[in-house]
Structure 1
Amino acid sequence: MTQSTETATLTHHKTRQRLAELGLELPDVAGAVASYVPAVRTGNTVYTSGQLPLRDGSLTATGKVGAQVPADEAAELAVTCVLNALAAAGTHGDLDSARILKVVGFVASAPGFNGQPSVINGASNLLVQVFGDKGQHARSAVGVTELPLDAPVEVELIVEFS
């Protein structure tokens, strides 16, 4: 069963509180930039589409990590991506009951850049800060030559709701 974005804003109290303590907030669900939906639920599991570092419908940075975008900035962009992924997942269940199963992170990498794991640590570390043990997850951090809209980072989640 899918919750509307309006309904979703009425839930996730503990998650929103933990994010606020970190100076962050759960954004509105980012619109799709092509022909797909932001998240799909089957049983208790939600799969999000890859989420870009969008704020208010615009990319917060563009370019290759290791060239135009420094790795530490890219790690912060991964935080934005995972917040967008949580917002998408949260339309299908209450994030307060979420267990993060897997993170897949893509990093648009300049030639010779091999710090993809440290970039995606931005997303992983936030998930552990917010969800504690339920934020521990399996993960892939993949370097790619291009991402949609020239985004430096893209993150997708697999989330289980109890």
Structure 2
Amino acid sequence: MSILDKIKSLGLELPPAPKAIAAYIPAIQTGNLVFTSGQLPLKDGKLILTGTLGAGLSIDDVKAATEQAAMNGLAAIAGVIGDLDKIKTIVKIGVFVASSPDFTEQHLVANHASNLLLSIFGEAGRHARFAVGNSALPLGAPVEVEMTVSLG
């Protein structure tokens, strides 16, 4: 099954490749690695959720937003390499979480992205990861996801 077919079988759709909203590019390839810029939970050019974890938002509240940001990362990669089936492995993801000072479960927010990538790529989706809290993220987003993949 192709990666696009797997995404569709999960009831998801790969969005169009994101456009930069500042002075950067969404993804870049160097050798057999592709690095994405941080991707926000944008859909049709708008954030699907805003806010801060621990100050109005819960871990469950941000599941769809975290998955959307991860899907936008895959779309950015597809914009560079064309076919997501060229991905050999998800190497690493980083998840930034807009958090109140007392919120300490950023790793559980990051699980939403990690679990999605495992569902799509199977063992090739198992990756290294970081999850950090931030006082604020661009545009008021609750989460931002970046990733590095290797190509086969």
TM-score, length basis structure 1: 0.89
SS at match of 1:92: helix
CA offset digits 1:13-54 (Å, max 9, x no partner): 711111111110100012111110000100110000000000
SS at match of 1:113: coil
Letter in 2 for 1:96: D
Q: 1:95 aligns with which of 84, 97, 111?
A: 84
Identify the residue that residue 36 of structure 2 maps to in structure 1.
48
Letter in 1 for 2:92: K
Identify the residue that residue 57 of structure 1 maps to in structure 2.
45
Q: 2:124 aligns with which of 134, 137, 157?
A: 134
Give yes or no for contact 1:95–1:161 (8 Å, CA) kept in 2.
Answer: no
TM-score, length basis structure 2: 0.95
SS at match of 2:97: strand
Q: What is the aligned length?
A: 150
SS at match of 1:91: helix
Identify the residue that residue 151 of structure 1 maps to in structure 2.
141
Identify the residue that residue 8 of structure 1 maps to in structure 2.
none
Distance 1:133 1:121 in 2: 15
Instruction: Kindly report which structure 2 residues correspond to 1:113-132, keeping only aligned pairs within 5 A, or say none.
Output: 113-132=103-122
CA offset digits 1:95-154 (Å, max 9, x no partner): 112110000000000121111011011100010110011100000000110100010000
Please say which of residues 130-139 and 73-82 is displaced more in the overlay: 73-82
Q: CA deviation at 1:63?
A: 1.0
Letter in 2 for 1:37: I
Unaligned runs of 5+ in 1: 1-12
Q: CA deviation at 1:75?
A: 2.6
Distance 1:126 1:110 in 2: 25
Letter in 1 for 2:56: Q
Give yes or no for contact 1:75–1:120 (8 Å, CA) kept in 2.
Answer: no
Distance 2:18 2:84 in 1: 17
SS at match of 1:16: helix
SS at match of 2:79: coil
Q: Identity over the aligned pairs, expressed in percent?
A: 48
